[in-house]
Amino acid sequence: MGQKVNPISFRLPLNKDWQSKWFSKGNFAKNLAEDLAIRQAIEKKYGKTAGIGRVEVLRDNDSITVNLHSSKPGILIGRSGQGVIELKAYLLKNVAIYKTMDSNKQPKIKVDVIEIKAPELNAQLVAENIAIQIEKRIPFKRATKQAIQKTMEMRAKGIKIQVSGRLGGAEIARSEKYGEGSVPLGRLKANVDYGYAIAMTTYGTIGVKTWIYKGDILKEEKEKN
């Protein structure tokens, strides 16, 4: 009892999609390590500033496509697409697996930037926004309540936020939950988005978890999309 499951993996493939799309018989562990290294490199380069809510990795026989879903596509694309070119070079230079390869054997990396038009409904971006405000010494209660208000204004069915750590610099760590509306985590057809971010403060790290309920998705609606 009391064990929890990630709401996104819990709904695969009913109304959620995989973030890595490829098939491999003999190189599964290698490809998985590459995917993780690519995500870590992107997080290290941009952090929370680029508004990246989702990173998708698609593989072909000799190429890798990285789809970046961002609320700030201009930061990633740069002037005349220079940002995308720099990101490709950065990945080939900083991913440990690609460092040991010859330049001729390195895979072709393609980067696509997809705009997130409603960042208030993206749980990962909401969590990162709260974490950024906590790092700027804004009271966590104010940050969470503002995030809840903005999300509900975008006609979400419900939102739940959990903040854990040494809140307000307290000596004893604790967790506090805030929310509005309903978030039915036990219903499989419920479209629940989940995000997690860490705020680095002078008195330790504070974790921010966010659940956003956007309504139910029926099987017929998913097949149409």
Spatial neighbors of 89 by CB under 8 A, at least 6 apart, are none
Are 217 and 31 in contact by the 8 Å Cβ rule? The answer is no
CATH of 7-115, one of 3.30.300.20, 1.10.3720.10, 3.40.1160.10, 3.90.950.10: 3.30.300.20
Same fold, 7-115 and 119-224: no
Model confidence at 163: pLDDT above 70: yes
* Res 198 pLDDT > 90: yes
Average pLDDT for 62-75: 93
Three-class SS state of 34: helix
E strands, 37-173, in order: 52-59, 63-70, 108-115, 158-165
Can you give the pLDDT at residue 106? Answer: 81
pLDDT at 102 over 80: no
Q: Is the pTM of this model over 0.85?
A: yes
Residue 13 clears pLDDT 90, i.e. is over it: no
Contact 74, 38 (CB under 8 A): no
The average pLDDT across 145-155 equals 96
- Which segments of the chain are extended strands (E)? 20-21, 52-59, 63-70, 108-115, 158-165, 174-181, 190-201, 204-216
Phi, psi for residue 8 in degrees, rounded to 5: -75, -50
Domain locations in the chain as residue ranges: 7-115, 119-224
Strand pairing of 63-70 and 52-59? Answer: antiparallel
| 61 confidence band (pLDDT: 50, 70, 90) | confident
DSSP string, 161-188: EEEEESGGG-SS-EEEEEEEE---TT-T
Chain mean pLDDT for the chain: 91
Q: With 0-12 CB in 10 A as exposed, 13-18 as middle and 19+ as buried, what is 34?
A: buried
For 119-224, the fitting CATH number among 3.30.420.130, 3.30.1140.32, 3.40.640.10, 3.40.50.1820 is 3.30.1140.32
**26 — pLDDT class (breaks 50, 70, 90):** confident
Q: How confident is the model at residue 76 (pLDDT cuts 50, 70, 90)?
A: very high
| 14 confidence band (pLDDT: 50, 70, 90) | confident
pLDDT band at 221 (very low <50, low <70, confident <90, very high): low
Q: Average pLDDT of 114-119?
A: 95
Band the pLDDT of 180: cuts 50, 70, 90.
very high
Task: Reduce the DSSP state of residue 49 to 3 states and report it.
Answer: coil
pLDDT category at 1 given cuts 50, 70, 90 is very low
Give the pLDDT confidence score for residue 153 in this predicted structure. Answer: 96
pLDDT confidence of residue 4:
79
Rg (CA), the chain: 19
Half-sphere exposure of 109 (CA within 13 A, CB side): 24
Are 186 and 213 in contact by the 8 Å Cβ rule? The answer is: no
Q: Answer yes or no: are the C-beta atoms of 192 and 179 closer than 8 Å.
A: no
Structure tokens at 164: 């854990």
3-state SS, residue 97 = helix
